Amino acid sequence: MGEPAGRGPDALGAGHVLGVDSGGSGLRIAVARADDAEARPLAVRTSDGPVRTGPTGIDAEHLLSQLLPAAAELARETGAEGFVAVCVGAAGMATLGEELRARLPAALATAFGLRQLALAADAVTAYAGALGQRPGAVIAAGTGMIALGTDLTPAGGWRRADGWGHLLGDCGGGAWIGRAGLEAALRAYDGRPGGSAALLARAEAVFGPVTGLPGALYPRPDRPAVLASFAPEVARCATEDDTVALGVLRAAAGHIADAAAAACPPGAGTTVACTGGLFGMGEPLLAPLRTALAERLPDARTTAAAGSPLDGSLAIAAALAGDRLALPTDRKLLQITRPAPG
């Protein structure tokens, strides 16, 4: 990968920050100017496939093997001679991020002369991208689903709901919807109640004979993403008035709204934003979600997300560099470290 980008005090004067977004669909990395109030990306790199999760949690070596070469390329492309601050936002950081917390500070300090690092749950970077540093709540839904809220006071901290992964939670997220759709397909195949012939047809069109699904799905390390890939098929069947598919999306909307209500800080007029690829499914999900949110949070104000989790990662890094980070710090959700360069 060549020589690492700058490593001394002169490098820190370049005034660039690095943002990282590691999720179920892969790794995205971007550079911005530290003095840009909007932290607009100057250049972006993406990787294929998600960072692996092993016995000790998120695989730091796998993440670094993708991050370090891409960050060095971005530094050369943008003229950055090091990074004033870096924010790494990762799915699973709160519960599976111990190895990242142990390995990343020293590795990034050695590679880039880094002095300030934010390690954030992807929900926090989603929050920062959607609402910036304002109080409110954000629903982040893609392959998984989590809701996060804060009133920005130290006493209030973060209010989190769900985000427990596809085996224990992420209720209403893409993997949840896809799994529910495939379950309905298998019910139809078996002749059990609750099945959908339409979803069975779509499952076989996408995956082949459904009898092969367990063998094709269970060994996959990217199983959540594979399940989530079927969520658009559920939405397609819902638009064709398949009652089972409509029921899956109504249930998903209810789960998402439940999480939002649990995470939303109290008070009238609180802002709630939705962010993530799941909401690209459009009205089949958004219509029941609006109804569910109105029932559970009648005094809240919903708004469109201003930006993506990658935008939020850059915004956190820039705020950290400028000593204006107002979001609550938390060892699991938003940890700030100041590693000594190697």
The CA distance from 21 to 257, in Å, is 25
Distance CA 214, CA 212 (A): 6
* pLDDT average per 10 residues of sequence, the chain (342 residues): 37 73 84 88 86 82 89 90 90 83 87 88 92 92 91 86 90 97 97 96 95 90 90 96 96 97 85 91 94 93 90 95 90 85 56
Convert the pLDDT of each residue in 251-269 to its tens digit: 999 999 999 999 998 876 7
Instruction: Count each helix (H run) and each strand (E run) in the chain, helices first.
Output: 13, 13
Residue in 256, 253, 255 with CA at minimum distance from that of residue 238: 253
Cβ atoms 122, 22 nearer than 8 A: yes
H/E segment holding residue 150 = strand 145-150
pLDDT in tens, 188-231: 999 999 999 999 999 999 999 999 999 988 988 888 889 999 99
Rounded-to-integer distance, Cα 195 and Cα 184, Å: 4
